Structure 1
């Protein structure tokens, strides 16, 4: 039998042990409750791999936060996001796309100003007043790109070419010299562009001082004096016989085109082609000047956060994004992967940017480009139809432009234009 003092000691020890075990249990439960699992979606696997690597680094710094990134096929990407939002279980973050901005109007969370103060965004070239809605912003631009002229250095040197063209007249002269035909059959295109008219025409329209939409966004402004000058130049180059056509394509990577119109992301593929010696130069203009503009630019958007993500998860998501986008090395690595230039101008002097001529040339051109904002898929589709009408069906260029104008106006009657910022981003002298 325990004596009274021993009994009290045993009881005290038992209570202490029980409290300790109880405390350990509650601590484990609290720790488990504090753990947050976040999910992010993208449609490009290579980017997902990079994000996951960064998420794993973040987890080491913040063990209570786990982040899983998933690749969703582009064909079902946006419909799946909208469906998940409607069902109340969206991803915590998803990579946005400039062609889909209107589809998510009113459905995104604003970036918190304590983590992303507006006055700190001045270094971001793409971040203009067009991104701010009632003092808030919902889209985070991470990269920019524009069209350039790629050229084959071997073909260039064999033809005894000198400096790269500064004007369209100079380019046409060079292209005629570089074009190779055999019995009237095009073997080497001097300047391959006909398969990209749907993208080249907006560049030229901006060069001539035009816009894609009227100020009220109730109609397109394509069949205008500026738009007609742009399509006339395209028509003249087609008549030069310097380009391959959609029904007879020639491959730049195989040395079948001396020059090619193309967006900067093409560097990713061409850099992997063995034996292909190539370089780039800025888009020419009619007089070699940068104004009214040199080209259209496009923005690569980063993550957006759905409005109905739970508050606690949303807070952790924005903390992660603030950490992620504060890393200069990450932004450079991401843009190198995408073939774009960081929107953060302070990174334009980064060694990775300076050593790559596509990036250096893009940086030189970007300040003189127009960022239209949203470039809707229906705009691309109508301009693609215009391209086919001209290059395949033989429709006169001016008539094809007029038909495109009519289709664009008809579309806007049923679906008004959304995020349009082209007048805000027009370069100023």
Structure 2
């Protein structure tokens, strides 16, 4: 089967690119020209995985079917994962898809293309830490759901134990680690509201960072306020404490041994090692090296998001959702021009609009960059939380349109009013 444009990876960037191209080409021709490939059948915005993991966001409610999104946005979707790429021959191979028992669901296939876009994201970087296999990760929706099930069992066990306590250690105090800490506190408080007093238990969260401060990518002012807010709510924050070993029920950070019933690794990302096997230039982090047009060393093969090493001054474009969003919009313009046989002379230019961090249902912190008002400025509390939620809705708007997003937001608000925030099954 041949497609003009094949997009491998249905994360924020890949899905938004497919939706933009499909809508521009229209119902009659878009579906036959654009193919999106992903190893899952449901899309969940990655920045919300910490909420799914804590149980404060229902994955079944939040998840959007790729098949339905493809129908609405006039592109094609297929379940699969890239196995091989021939950039010169303009073909790629998809591995077979099997179920939990190993039985084949979808056979291996071969697809030809005119242009391909690699949007396959990244995974966890364990830095060679012994015992890292004992830690949970939050790379995909399935990871978050698996952790949520273990968390619910641990909550219930703690409520009926003699010690009445539960320990959770989170390795890495970037945005994911900080937001997960805050969301676990929310989940714990929500559960206690429904339990009798003799079943109340203490939640001990240890947030461990190898560097000198949490949220190292954000200004120090934000880092200090976030740490103070977490510590005021009972989180133990340890900085300058690299983790040297992990076991099933504890880890070693610096010179301390920290006991924990559950351990989550959120201490860094790296692109997949398999990226080295596609015949394209990569860097030390296994990212595809791209030029100013986001094109890899293989002509007609582009990359965006976490898997792309795109120059931004003397450093690389950061691995953030806003970067993938901007790259998707840029590639949509570029590929539409190529489809129409026109020259496209504009290079990709990344704009950093700042960062926002959620610290719970009614609290957030953020730093908005200059260009929005001349100087950088900070937002806090409900304003920051509202802006954080607006980013989530903006992603939905990009793939669903304004009116569908509005209806979806209202429906979820009403659902939350009826069923509550905490998922307990």
**Bucket of the pairwise TM-score, normalised by the shorter protein:** under 0.3
Q: Which has the higher helix share?
A: 1
TM-score scaled by length of structure 2:
0.25
Greater relative CO (CA pairs within 8 A, separation 6+): 1
Scaled by the length of structure 1, what TM-score is found? 0.25
